[in-house]
A and B are shown apart, each in its own frame.
Chain A
Amino acid sequence: MPPGGFEKRKIIASAALIAVLVSFLVFVLMPTIYIVSFTFTRWDEIYSEVFANPIIASENWFQVQSVLFFSFRIALFTIAFDFIFGIPLAYLLARKKFLGKSILEDIVTLPLVIPTSGFGFATLITWTTVSGLGGLFGFKSGLLNLADRIPLLNIPFLIFVVHVGLTLPYVVLTIRAKLQELDPVFETASRTLGAVSSTTFRRIVFPLALPGVFSGLVLAFARSLGETGATMVVAGVSTTGSIAIVRWVFEFKFGTASFLGCLLVVIAWALILPVEVLLHRKHRFSISRSPLKTIGMEGRFLSFEKFISRRLYYVKDVVSITVIFAIVVVPVVVVLNSIFPYWFHDPYTGRFEGGVIYQLFGPSNYFGALSRATLTSFTVAAISTYIAACIAIPLVYVIKRYRFGTLIRSILKIPLIVPTSALGLSVLLLWGPQGLGMVNPGIWLIILTHIVFSVPVITEPTIAAYEGPEILSYEESARTLGATSYDVAETISLPLLKRGILAGVILSFTHSLGETGATFIVMGSDLTVPTLVVNMVEALAIPAALFSSAYLIAIALVLLAVFRFLTRR
């Protein structure tokens, strides 16, 4: 090879690297963390608004505290519940073969693709209206009221249910991935040494899967803190941190909103980074000695475990499957099932103003709004997914090639776990009229927002596809056969990564279609379908919301089917 050619290649390679890094910086990193720097640079204004308001003094600070504590309490109990019911599901999916396993996998994945506001609405009508469970059990009203709280925990029931539904997949899928990479031989060894299955789980499986359990729970915690779309629909008068940001932005309390957003982003960051460090460390952190032994309870516990392993083996599976069924499947079925009685008129009062047809085509003309929103949603999803893919695919290369790749990968987790409303606010503050003034709220700002989380949504499955042990050896053998690194990328890596990239693209498209919290803040007058659902619920146009939710869920189900088809082995 002539030396000149080599020089040229080097220049092209560094130019490409710089282009990738710059777009990562501009489209992903800056929008994510701008809210933090904004809070610092405008500290004086924010201080006077939050802590030293001339009229209400530090009332805003008290509100920030109270919504934060509320959100923390919800997140804490949510992950406790996820932990109890997620582990049996993860174990079931990782280790057992049974009829209907792929259906259970789909059910677990469903909340990840379903638009959150649609899911929230589905949960709302399932639990609080007569068309849901109330009617099924023969009541004249819903099972519960919107404001009902769980006794003792003092959390609104619906918020809790929605959060469990939306976070459980993270816990189940993360732990399952960890269990799948754990050799079952350790479990076998434990059994032959005389331990029953539950003892084996406590002393062997759980300690070895602990990093997975931990990161799953942290992800779920962060998701719960940041959940906006579904929470808005079911919250009633309650205010979580992420909803408060949306409310305050609409009340033009930007200072308080960005202060809270900054706190939430920093918390999310503080949660995820230690996990990243722990997960990438070679040496495991584990419990080798049973803590029960130290308190002298081991013996009694062992006989208890013997009892449950013998008598109650399937109970945990049945209970967990029932829980996920009630939280995920029932609402979807209820929504799809309730459109028909509501089609022409309200089935209970008989008034045709309460029917789907009237609301869609009558004076409020929700059909027109829905059509426009559909167009906006699909445009946003298509453009943001396309741009995100253009950034994400070369970025995967950078992540795998260079040593700072792990850092980028960790940073990429942040947009996925920061509260979506904080992310929206951050984008608004950066690009919008208050910041650089380059983009006004509307479809283009929505696209810029969606790119931020679409990039990591695409990189994750692509990296996962890359991490199969084979690809590296195929690449190496291609190199030994005389291919340059560019040839290798084109002829070996990209075709092999196709499945991962496709999965990422579809996930990103779905995610963008369903995103609610961030979109709400940056959309201006360009509504997307999920935000339209929220508006419909707030306008109490229930049949119209019903129709739109069913429509969203149907799209999500189709996309899930496509996703399954493409990622099938």
Chain B
Amino acid sequence: MPDVRLINVTKRFGKIIAVDHVSLGVSDREYVTLLGPSGCGKTTTLRLIAGLAQPDEGEIYIGDKLVTWFPPEDREVGFVFQNYALFPHMNLWENTTYGPSVKAWEEERIKRIANEMLGLVRLAERKDAFPHELSGGMQQRAGLARALSAGTNLLLLDEPLGALDAKIRTELRYELRRLVKDLGLTAIHVTHDQEEAMTISDRIVVMRRGAIEQIGTPEQLYLAPKTPFIANFIGESNFFEGSMMKVGRETSIVELRGGLLMEVNWTGLKEGDRVLIAVRPENIKLESYAPADLNFFPGTVERIRFIGGILRHEIRLVNDDIVTSRVPIEAEKKFEVGGKIAITLDRAKVHVYSYPKEGLREAIRVE
């Protein structure tokens, strides 16, 4: 029932365009994350959906109702806040029953739903406690129970795990998703943490500078990033700058700095075009040293780091580019810092972009 549609929505704050002609559809029972660096407009978008701000242009639908000008109390949404926003002068029970009670539901129904929700978030025992007596994780679970008790099927979450400790954050992540799925809710979740977005979402909407950069499942975003920004922001990428040397039927040859040559799949770019190539660290394979060849670049190991199960190598190539590679710790070949090495690339696992006009640094900047 609650599918959400935004059509060409724009929100300005003075001269700043916080949300720039955003169109977005969220289906019923879908868990969607708005992901982006701070200041990208994700929170503003969420506030527009909740009615906490009004758009300057565009339309917002919840279900089949046009709600663009509805006040928040008429939108039937549940909102979960980063800092919980539990009413400090009320205990958990009063917080949880607040929504139903201002909607003047019957006493019996209020009691039933509040008990049910507090039970779902495992806080039934603590219903007499005041917010300041609870831990952060408990407070956020209570915030969830309070939002759900108001009888909504659409949950809007504004950095709900942002204020929690790392360990609790990961635990609550799974709990949140399970709850949403069990209750059959639609959830729109705002976060700047890409790992959180990857683990929790059905679909991720990556926003940047007020606009949507890419929408897709976590897998799609990781495996097929549409822009250098996504390639860098979701996971990690090595970037190579170069130009199209030879365009063939199925493959093309790109000349990188220092005359290194890379074969890539056909892209539609013309000979002489400047390109940017992104490669995930796990797609860089390490080999013993040999002279340069197609997709085979020699270099020196600069640094090796151990990151739980993975060895991260930083390698300075012969053209002075630095690339990062990740290999499982039990890999057959071992290398040492300062030693000669070479890397190989699989042309199916690299992403080729037309070189951004604003330059690489600007194109991937997370501001």
A interface residues, Cβ below 8 angstroms from B: 183, 185-186, 188-197, 199, 203-204, 207-208, 284, 286-290, 293, 298-299, 302-303
Contact = CB atoms under 8 A, between A and B. Distances in A.
Contacts of A192: 50-52, 72-73, 75, 77-79, 147, 150, 156
B112 interface: no
B11 interface: no
Contacts of B103: 194
Contact of A193 (B83, B150, B156): B150
Given A188-B52, A284-B88, 6 more contacts: A185-B85, A192-B77, A193-B102, A194-B99, A204-B87, A289-B94
A298 B103 CA distance: 10
Given A193-B147, A195-B73, A186 B91 contact: no
Contacts of A289: 94
A194 B89 contact: no
A191 B99 contact: no
B87 A189 contact: yes
B52 A288 contact: no
A188 B147 contact: no
A185 B81 contact: yes
Contacts of A193: 73, 78-79, 98-99, 102, 146-147, 150
A365 B244 CA distance: 99
Nearest to A288: B90
Contacts of A191: 51-52, 71-73
Contact of B89 (A189, A195, A197, A288): A288
Contacts of B75: 192
A204 B102 CA distance: 12
Contacts of A287: 89
B77 A199 contact: no
B72 A185 contact: no
Interface residues of B, number: 30
28 contacts: A186-B85, A186-B88, A188-B79, A189-B146, A192-B50, A192-B51, A192-B72, A192-B73, A192-B77, A192-B78, A192-B150, A193-B99, A194-B73, A194-B76, A194-B103, A194-B150, A195-B99, A196-B71, A196-B73, A203-B102, A204-B87, A208-B87, A208-B89, A287-B89, A288-B90, A288-B94, A293-B101, A303-B104
Interface of B: 50-52, 71-73, 75-79, 81, 83, 85, 87-91, 94, 98-99, 101-104, 146-147, 150, 156
Given A203-B98, A288-B91, A189 B81 contact: yes
B89 to A, nearest CB: 4
Contacts of A183: 83, 85
A194 B85 contact: no
Contacts of A303: 104
Contacts of A298: 101, 104
Contacts, number: 86
A302 B98 CA distance: 13
Interface centre among A192, A195, A196 (most CB of B within 10 A): A192
B185 to A, nearest CB: 15
Contact of B87 (A186, A196, A199, A290): A186
B284 to A, nearest CB: 45
A188 B85 contact: yes
A208 to B, nearest CB: 6
Given A195-B73, A302-B104, A189 B90 contact: no
B76 to A, nearest CB: 8
Contact of B88 (A188, A190, A208, A290): A208
Contacts of B98: 190, 193, 195, 203
A286 B91 CA distance: 12
Contacts of B156: 192
Given A192-B73, A192-B77, A194-B73, A286 B102 contact: no
A303 B8 CA distance: 35
A152 to B, nearest CB: 35
Contacts of A196: 71, 73
Contacts of B99: 193-195
A74 to B, nearest CB: 33
A171 B268 CA distance: 71
A299 to B, nearest CB: 5
A257 B275 CA distance: 93
The 4 closest A-B pairs by CB, nearest first: A193-B99, A286-B89, A192-B79, A195-B102
Contacts of A203: 98, 102
B333 to A, nearest CB: 50
Contacts of A293: 101
A178 to B, nearest CB: 13
